[in-house]
Amino acid sequence: MLVLARALMGHPRLLLVDELSFGLAPLIVEQLFEILAKVNQEGTSVLLVEQFVHLALEHTDRAYVLAKGEVVTKGGSADLANDPALVAAYLGDNGNGGRFRG
């Protein structure tokens, strides 16, 4: 949270976020995603790289899926999250619909 606060102090037009959820408790991750959503609503663009893909797709407008460093698909986040072939091929399913819940 401190790193995010420090980054926002400069009022950036673009915020780059890499693995926001890494090593954090699920409750903290949810809070941080809510903060990012507010930051974005206030006019800051956010570029997010995230291991919990479904969580990222729930909080973004557009997404790019990479495989071996190449963009293999892109589009609206909701469209990608609801594409059964994409989910099966790239996002997997952890027994709860692929949703991050700790």
**Domain residue spans of the chain:** 1-51, 61-93
Q: pLDDT tens-digit profile of 6-26?
A: 998 989 999 999 998 888 888
The arithmetic mean of pLDDT across residues 67-84, rounded, is 89
Rounded Cα distance, 92 and 102, in Å: 16
Rounded Cα distance, 21 and 56, in Å: 10
pLDDT at site 101: 38
User: How far is CA 10 from its chain centroid?
Assistant: 22
DSSP state of 95: S
The arithmetic mean of pLDDT across residues 71-98, rounded, is 76
